[in-house]
A and B are shown apart, each in its own frame.
Chain A
Amino acid sequence: MLDVIQGLESFLAWPTPLFMALGVLLGMLFGFLPGLGGVQALALATPLTFGMLPNQAMAMLIGIMGAVPFGGSISAILINTPGTPQNAATTFDGYPLARQGKAGLALGASASASVLGAIVGALVLVALMPLGRQIVLAFSYPEYFMLAVMGLSVIAVVSQGSMWKGLAAGLFGLLICMIGYDPVTGAVRYTFGLDYLYDGIKLVPALIGLFAISEALELMLKNKSFGGDEKISSTGGLGEGIMSVFHNFWLFLRCSVLGFIVGVIPGVGGSVSNFVAYGHAVQTTTKNPHFGQGDIRGVIAPQSSDTAKDGGAMVPTIVFGIPGSVETAVLLGALILHGLQPGPKLMLEEPAIVYVMVYALVASNILAGLLGLFGAKYLARLTDMPSALLAPVIFSLAIMGAYATEGILGDVFVALVFGVLGYCMREFGFNRVPMVIALVLGAMLQQTYHQTIMSMGAQGFFVRPISLGLFAITVLMLIIPVIKNRRAREGGIPA
């Protein structure tokens, strides 16, 4: 208890809150801009923290980490371009809501879900810290494989239009994941003699192409206003959006816990958690679902999961010194730079710092939410720009976002290729979402399959309780709604 109070004192000691606020502003900016994200912001800010005390440095860095998910959701909702990969699922319903003139509703729900999700994540983090070791050790190759399968099963759920076309898009995404080094044998596949392809197709340029460039091409070609006939910039309904989380509190809570669990697993991170949460929301919602067309629950689920996942990612980071996500990997480096040794010793020797991190995580989400809500009116005006002006701006942001990530022109070419591919997919009725899911999960699926077979044999998937449990959950996730739909049809009740 003393540690908790000491941590609070340390967090509130001036100018620690100011540094956190600066981190929040930076995190929101980097989250909002497609192609940039928490990793770049953290990498940029880490050298700035050299002269700070450890509590101030951690407050600033966690401030960045906490603000990125909400910042990314703003561009996901307003311009159909996820600010970061972890916001990809927020576009599915956030953008359709914005097109219906309900941008305020979506932004309010996103802010509220992000803040409350972070609080749930932090609470569970504090409660589970003593058990963290067991959770982390319980996951091995079969569990990772089953987790990837669970994520891919979402394809069947999110496919609007023809399910076969959704399946084809998912398969194509998986095929693209096969480019580059085979993670198990080291064989080089499908590089066509290009050195650039040895490391495979990078996710960030692919996402920029699929969403940002294809959107800009569409805007230019159709010469339509960004929000169609509706006023997309309307921010009315912010209050209703905030309250929508409380109206769907049970769903929010489940998705937050799901996000936390995914966050705990090292290396999986937010790209997976938002899809798992979105899929869960779609599969478990029976009351008037219209996912993919502007269902507010499709915003609440991924956003709550995104921020709760940060709390989860802190478990392996703090308990073991193993990064739970790419962001926490950078954070680990910053801890070491400040003379703090992550791992079990940190809890024993510097418990106050750990609690500063927890407080900063919650406070940064609250601040980001407030800033986002007050600024939503102005941000939403971006979408009032004529499409003929907005499209070149998106092209510029997309090119620079892809280029600046690593300074490699190959990334910009990839973004362009995926932009054209995304445009064609959109025009010919192929859903881009299954492709993104496959791109995120493909490498993990393949690698953990081979690792399981080599180390445990095929039975490895089904003899370990957690792996078997995940498999059973996946099957149930797919079967139960089908049965429900069939029963509803037989009974003449709309599903």
Chain B
Amino acid sequence: MKLKGSGWFELVIIAFSAVLLVMSTSYNEKARLFPMILSMVMIAVMGLIFLQESVPAAGRYLGFVKESGLFASRKPANGKVDGEGEDEGEQTQNAAVRHSEVFRLLRFILWLLGCIILLKFVTYLMIMPVFLLLFTKVEARQSWRNAAGVAAGMGVFNYLLFSVLLGSRL
């Protein structure tokens, strides 16, 4: 059984819910009521979805999991709507989580994480334009001119809005 991207995602959510379930046992009776019930139901529902999508033998008996929402109607003429995609076939999902995309996604997260961490030490007036300049040039593969335009425009906009108008001390 080779897991697809959605399978990994569902497993992570199941594991997270299991951790919450275990943690909830240490709370008092009232405080644990909702978390305990919710995490148990969450594990059950997510488990069914996982089995249906990732374990072909079990999936045959779990067709109901693919049922559409109560009032879901016909497909859009174009454009992707939240919650759709898996019914179109698993190719869509597979395409969405191709290796290159996963690496690019991780790279973007690292960029954003770096920007957030630097915000702790350096004022946003410096960090945001530099982030925008480099990100637009390196990741969006734009010319230096475009990148500088975005960085300068947003830098001025952020300064006027947050520092001048809102008087934020960030």
| Chain A positions near chain B (C-beta within 8 angstroms) | 33, 40, 44, 96, 99-100, 156-168, 171-172, 174-175, 178, 182, 184-185, 187, 189-190, 213, 217, 220-221, 228-230, 282-283, 289-294, 388-389, 391-393, 395-397, 399-400, 403-404, 407, 409, 412-413, 416, 419-420, 423-433, 446, 449-450, 478, 481-482, 485
Contact = CB atoms under 8 A, between A and B. Distances in A.
Contacts of A217: 105, 108
Interface of B: 5-6, 9-10, 13, 17, 20, 23-24, 27-28, 30-31, 34-35, 38-39, 41-42, 45-46, 48-49, 64-79, 81-87, 93, 96-97, 101, 104-105, 108-109, 112-113, 115-116, 119-120, 124, 128, 131-132, 135-136, 139-142, 146, 150, 154, 158, 161-162, 165-170
B11 to A, nearest CB: 12
A175 B85 contact: no
8 smallest CB-CB distances across A and B, nearest first, come from A431-B83, A159-B69, A161-B83, A429-B86, A99-B79, A187-B31, A388-B140, A293-B76
Contacts of B97: 427
Nearest to A227: B79
A429 B84 contact: yes
Contact of A161 (B84, B105, B166): B84
B38 A395 contact: no
Contacts of A185: 28, 30-31
Given A182-B30, A404-B162, A429-B85, A389 B140 contact: yes
Contacts of A96: 76, 79, 81
DSSP majority for the B interface?
Answer: helix
B65 A162 contact: yes
Nearest to A167: B45
18 contacts: A156-B70, A159-B72, A160-B84, A162-B67, A171-B42, A187-B31, A189-B24, A230-B78, A294-B76, A395-B112, A409-B116, A413-B116, A416-B116, A423-B105, A424-B9, A427-B5, A429-B87, A433-B83
A293 B86 contact: no
A217 B84 CA distance: 18
Nearest to A158: B69
Given A420-B109, A478-B70, A482-B70, A399 B116 contact: yes
Given A289-B71, A427-B96, A182 B83 contact: no
B27 A166 contact: no
B105 A166 contact: no
B75 to A, nearest CB: 7
A478 B96 CA distance: 34
Contacts of B165: 44
Contacts of A156: 69-71
